[in-house]
Each structure stands twice: as structure tokens, then as C-alpha cells.
């Protein structure tokens, strides 16, 4: 095994594609998902400290054993208030929320129809469920309709993201929901990049008037705009009850730490009370896109195609050296095989930071950086 691991590592080094896990302090942050700047907000820290005092640092057990605390219940109520959904169930991450809901809804008799650009956690959940599945081209509702009309399975779930994580574009949610209603299917929308950003912060599903409707359910992360850690599934009380009893990543996983639950609940309240935060992140995303000569996207993510993985790594390194952290997206993290640098706007970036960052991005892209030979 060791010699194989060494040979894989050597290939990554030769191609300049080594992923790193060092802290990145002192850079202008266009890489994190802290869209509203709430991860550093003292109100979240105070809520986390209160929950730790009251409940301890760890949840101690699965939610279905004795891991449920008032912090978890408060979080689920706060998420329902924010998104307008009837019920919420908190998971220990967005990843486990997606695995949990997809495996609990899947299996024999369920067909998953999923967009080609959905996140790895959704793909993994579909695979783990051992259901029949059809991939449809990105945002192609005609292909969704064809798959729904041709299905032989009694149940179907259409899986989309409200704002896609790599390209930052939006899904046609209202039309997708209408199709699901017509064919008696469930639309499952991952709002990881929508909540806190779209629809005054209440998410794209709420903005489309779909919150609380029978054919639509939502998954969310608490680790991006909500500045904490964890995930959730939002939908009907019937769905929540099914997940509590069947979702393996809920039942066989220690509950979210009370501090994370309380911080996310505090954030959900702030997002609801201060819609200007969501407006600000979209405004900053637009400023950044225009300054970098790209088309503004639907959300906080601006994605700039740069071609090869090596060039993405080189541009990212040049920007780090210039004091700007950006996301480096390359296979297998890019659905269409096109490597990109990803810029994420945040509500708390100043205009001076946006100008400085955009100038650095433009310089890095224009500096004729040569591709690293494979």
C-alpha cells in the first residue's frame, strides 16, 4: 500500500496539484463560504458559549438516544421560521443531511433524477441508496420531464441545487416544482448556497413561493451563510418523522455539538431580522464580477474558467502570493471538467478589499502564466 500511496503522491507533486490544509491567515478571503461574515460575529460566539455552559461541549449521543438538547430544538424552530418550512431536522453536517435524506427516500421503487452539476454529497447519497438513477444535463427540464414520464418506479425524486456550488448559477425551481407536482414526484433542493443569500436570505425555495408545499423538500448546511457547522433537512412533519426513524446518518451519528446548534440558530434569527446582509453579499458579488470582467452569477459565487487543472493551481498560487485567497476547482470537483478559480463574495468585504482583490485577480489571469507541463 505504501509504495502505491507514494507513487500517487509523486504524480500530484509532478503536476503541481497537491491539495493543502494549512491555515490561511491575513489574506483577503474570496475562498470561504462565510457569505455573511457571521462565523466571526460575537452574537454567534455568545450563543455558542451559553449553549456550552448549559449542555456541555459534546452532545454525548445520537439524537435518538439522549443527544437531543434544547439547543437542537431551538435550531430546528429557528430554521423553520427562516425558511418558512413546516419541519426541520438537524444533522451533524450538510454532507450527512444529504446522505441521510437520499438513502432514506431511496431504495427499490425509487427513481432519482439528478442534475449533472449536483454536489458530491448528493451524488454519494444517490449511489449509497442503491436506487435507480438518471443523470440529466445541467438545468435541462425537458430531460427531467422525459425521465419522469418514462419512469416505471412508483416514486421519483428530482435532485437539484438552488444555486450551484461551482458555477454559481440558479436552478429553474418554479418550473421544476410544477413538473414534480404534475408527475407526483418530490423535488429535493439543496440550498447550501441559497439560504442566507437568495430571497432576502430566506433561500431560493422561499423566494419562489415553494416553502411548505407538498412536492418540495430542502437540504441545507449550517456551515456557509449561517457561520456555524452542521446541516438540516427541511420539509413536512411526515418527512421529518420518516428521517428520524430511517436516516442512518441521523440515527447512527452523534448529534451536532450544542454550541454549533445554538450558533446556527442565532445566525438564522439574524438573517431573518437583517435582510440587508443578503442584499450586501449579492451587491458585493456583482461588484466583484464586474471588476473581474465576468457575468454576475445568481449567488455569491463567481466562477472563472481557466482551462487546465495546472493553470487553476498556478493562478490560485499567484493570488495567494498577492494576498488573496480564492477557491481552486478542478476535476473531480468540476462537473464539466473545466478547471476554474472560484471567487466567493462576502457581505463584510469592504469596497477597498473588493477593488484590491479584483486587481490581483485580473493581474494573475492576464500575466500570461504558462501551463505547467503534465
Ligand X SMILES: Cc1ncc(COP(=O)(O)O)c(C=O)c1O
Site membership for ligand X, residue 316 (CB under 6 A): no
Least Cβ distance, residue 53 to ligand X (angstroms): 25
Nearest residue (CB) to ligand X, 138 versus 151: 138
Q: Which residues of 143-173 are buried (b: 16+ CB within 10 A; e: fewer)?
A: bbbebbeebeeebbbbbbbbbbbbbbbbbeb
- Site residues for ligand X, 221-240, by CB under 6 A, read 221, 223, 231
Least Cβ distance, residue 119 to ligand X (angstroms): 4
Nearest residue (CB) to ligand X, 157 versus 192: 192
Whether the Cβ atoms of residue 250 and residue 91 lie closer than 8 Å to each other: yes
Least Cβ distance, residue 90 to ligand X (angstroms): 11
Least Cβ distance, residue 34 to ligand X (angstroms): 12
Nearest residue (CB) to ligand X, 214 versus 248: 248
Least Cβ distance, residue 308 to ligand X (angstroms): 23
Least Cβ distance, residue 11 to ligand X (angstroms): 25
Nearest residue (CB) to ligand X, 251 versus 372: 251
Least Cβ distance, residue 252 to ligand X (angstroms): 17
Q: Which of 38, 126, 144, 192 binds ligand X (CB under 6 A)?
A: 192
User: Which string of DSSP letters, residue by residue, matches 26-53?
Assistant: SSEEESS--TTSGGG-HHHHHHHHHHHH
CA 135 from centre of chain: 19
Parallel, antiparallel, or unpaired for β 110-115 and 155-161? parallel
3-class DSSP state of 248: helix
Nearest residue (CB) to ligand X, 98 versus 316: 98
Nearest residue (CB) to ligand X, 227 versus 314: 227
Greatest CA separation for the chain: 59
Residue 235 has phi, psi (to 5 degrees) of 175, -140
Q: How many residues bind ligand X (CB under 6 A)?
A: 13
**Which residues face 329 on adjacent strands?**
340
User: Which residue's C-alpha cell is 431573518?
Assistant: 272
For residues 275 and 148, what is the distance between their CA atoms, to the nearest angstrom?
37
Q: Using CB atoms, what's the residue nearest to ligand X? A: 94
Nearest residue (CB) to ligand X, 67 versus 299: 299
All 3 cell numbers of residue 266?
Answer: 442565532
Least Cβ distance, residue 113 to ligand X (angstroms): 17
DSSP secondary structure code for residue 333 in this structure: S
Nearest residue (CB) to ligand X, 93 versus 302: 93
Taken in order 46, 50, 53, 56, the sign of the CA dihedral is negative
Those residues whose C-beta lies under 8 Å from the C-beta of residue 234, and which sit 6 or more positions away, are 79, 80, 83, 85, 87, 88, 89, 217, 218, 219, 220
Nearest residue (CB) to ligand X, 99 versus 179: 99
Least Cβ distance, residue 190 to ligand X (angstroms): 5
Show the binding pattern over residues 344-363: x = contacts ligand X (CB under 6 A), - = does not: --------------------
- Site residues for ligand X, 73-132, by CB under 6 A, read 93-95, 98, 119, 121
Parallel, antiparallel, or unpaired for β 324-329 and 216-221? unpaired
Residue 7, classified by CB atoms within 10 Å of its CB into exposed (0-12), middle (13-18) or buried (19+), is exposed
Nearest residue (CB) to ligand X, 62 versus 308: 62
Q: Which of 103, 139, 165, 339 binds ligand X (CB under 6 A)?
A: 165
User: Which residue's C-alpha cell is 490560485?
Assistant: 316
- Contact residues for ligand X (CB under 6 A)? 93-95, 98, 119, 121, 161, 165, 190, 192, 221, 223, 231
Amino acid at each position: 500500500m505504501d509504495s502505491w500511496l507514494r507513487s500517487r503522491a509523486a504524480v500530484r507533486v509532478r503536476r503541481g496539484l497537491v491539495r493543502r490544509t494549512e491555515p490561511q491567515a491575513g489574506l483577503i478571503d474570496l475562498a470561504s463560504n462565510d457569505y455573511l461574515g457571521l462565523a466571526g460575529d460575537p452574537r454567534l460566539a455568545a450563543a455558542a458559549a451559553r449553549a456550552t455552559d448549559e449542555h456541555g461541549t459534546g452532545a454525548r449521543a445520537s439524537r435518538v438516544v439522549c443527544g437531543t438538547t434544547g439547543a437542537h430544538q431551538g435550531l430546528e424552530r429557528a430554521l423553520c421560521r427562516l425558511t418558512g418550512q413546516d419541519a426541520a431536522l438537524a444533522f451533524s453536517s450538510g454532507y450527512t443531511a444529504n446522505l441521510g435524506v437520499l438513502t432514506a427516500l431511496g431504495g427499490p421503487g425509487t427513481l432519482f433524477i439528478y442534475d449533472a452539476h449536483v454536489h458530491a454529497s448528493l451524488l454519494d447519497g444517490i449511489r449509497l441508496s442503491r436506487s435507480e438513477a438518471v443523470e440529466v444535463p445541467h438545468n435541462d427540464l425537458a430531460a427531467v420531464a422525459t425521465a419522469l414520464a418514462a419512469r416505471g418506479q412508483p416514486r421519483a425524486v428530482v435532485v437539484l441545487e438552488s444555486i450551484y456550488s461551482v458555477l454559481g448559477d440558479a436552478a429553474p425551481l418554479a418550473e421544476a416544482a410544477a413538473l414534480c407536482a404534475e408527475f407526483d414526484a418530490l423535488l429535493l433542493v439543496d440550498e447550501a448556497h441559497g439560504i442566507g443569500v437568495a430571497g432576502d436570505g430566506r433561500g431560493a425555495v422561499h423566494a419562489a413561493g415553494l416553502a411548505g408545499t407538498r412536492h418540495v423538500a430542502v437540504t441545507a448546511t449550517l456551515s456557509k451563510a449561517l457561520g456555524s457547522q452542521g446541516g438540516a433537512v427541511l420539509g413536512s412533519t411526515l418527512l421529518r418523522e420518516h428521517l428520524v426513524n430511517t436516516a442512518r446518518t441521523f440515527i447512527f451519528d452523534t448529534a451536532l455539538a450544542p454550541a454549533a446548534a445554538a450558533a446556527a440558530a442565532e445566525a438564522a434569527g439574524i438573517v431573518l431580522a437583517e435582510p440587508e446582509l443578503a442584499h450586501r453579499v449579492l451587491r458585493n458579488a456583482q461588484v466583484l464580477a464586474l471588476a473581474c470582467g465576468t457575468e454576475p452569477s445568481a449567488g455569491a459565487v463567481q466562477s472563472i474558467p481557466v482551462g487546465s487543472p495546472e493553470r487553476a493551481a498556478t493562478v490560485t498560487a499567484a493570488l495567494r502570493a498577492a494576498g488573496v485567497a480564492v477557491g481552486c476547482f478542478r476535476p473531480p470537483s468540476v462537473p464539466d471538467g473545466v478547471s476554474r478559480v472560484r471567487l466567493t463574495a462576502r457581505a463584510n468585504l469592504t469596497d477597498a478589499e473588493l477593488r484590491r482583490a479584483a486587481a490581483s485577480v485580473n493581474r494573475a489571469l492576464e500575466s500570461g502564466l504558462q501551463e505547467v507541463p503534465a
